[in-house]
Amino acid sequence: PNPCQEVDAFVEFITQFEATRPGVVRSIPVFVILQHSLVYACKGRLQELWYSSSQEAQVIDEFWSHSWQAPSWQKYVNLLFLNNTWPASVVGTFTAVAALVLFLTDVLPEWAETGLVSMGAILKRSKSMLVLWDPSYVTRLWCVFEMAAFLNAHGSAAVKVCPPLLGSYCRSIDTMDRQLRDFSIQQTTSSCCEGGHKDDDFCDLGDRNIILRCISTWFGSIENFELVVQTEVRKALANQLVDGGFTYRRMVLATVPLLWSLLDRMASDVRDPLWAAGQLARLFAYWLTTVPSILILLFRLCYKFRASCGRISLEILLSLGLVIIGAAMYVATAAIDILFQAVFPSIPLANFALCGLCGIVTVAVLRYL
pLDDT in tens, 3-38: 677 777 878 878 888 887 777 888 888 878 777 777
Q: Is residue 123 part of a domain?
A: yes
* pLDDT bracket for residue 111 (50, 70, 90): very low
Of the candidates 302, 45, 352, the residue with the CA atom closest to the CA atom of residue 170? 302
The yes-or-no verdict on residue 97 having pLDDT over 70 is: no
Query: What is the pTM for the complete model shown?
Result: 0.62
The domain of 135 spans 3-25+60-244
Phi, psi at 293, each rounded to 5°: -65, -45
The yes-or-no verdict on residue 270 having pLDDT over 70 is: no
Of the candidates 157, 133, 160, 136, the residue with the CA atom closest to the CA atom of residue 63? 160
Answer with the residue of higher pLDDT: 124 or 107.
124
Q: Are residues 332 and 233 in the same domain?
A: no
pLDDT 10s digits, 282-293: 888 888 888 888
Instruction: Collect all residues with Cβ–Cβ distance below 8 Å to 181 and sequence separation of at least 6.
Output: 230, 234
Answer with the residue of higher pLDDT: 233 or 205.
233
Distances (CA, A) of 149 to 110, 118, 128, 146, 153: 22, 11, 12, 5, 6
Q: Are residues 253 and 285 in the same domain?
A: yes
As a whole number of Å, the CA-based R_g of the chain is 26
Q: Greatest CA separation found in the chain?
A: 91
Phi, psi at 342, each rounded to 5°: -85, -30
CA distance linking residue 139 with residue 203, whole number of Å: 18
Q: Which range has the worst mean pLDDT, 21-25, 163-167, 198-202, 204-208? A: 198-202
Q: Is residue 42 part of a domain?
A: no
Task: Quote the number of domains for the chain.
Answer: 2
The pLDDT assigned to 324 comes to 93
The pLDDT assigned to 151 comes to 85
User: Across the chain, how many H-helices and E-strands are there?
Assistant: 19, 5
Strand partners, 24: none
Q: Are residues 239 and 252 in the same domain?
A: no
The pLDDT assigned to 204 comes to 43
Q: Is residue 302 part of a domain?
A: yes
The percent helix, strand, coil of the chain (3-state, each to 5) is: 70, 5, 25
The yes-or-no verdict on residue 359 having pLDDT over 50 is: yes
Q: Are residues 93 and 113 in the same domain?
A: yes
Could you list the beta-strand ranges (E) of 121-254: 129-132, 159-162
* pLDDT bracket for residue 309 (50, 70, 90): confident
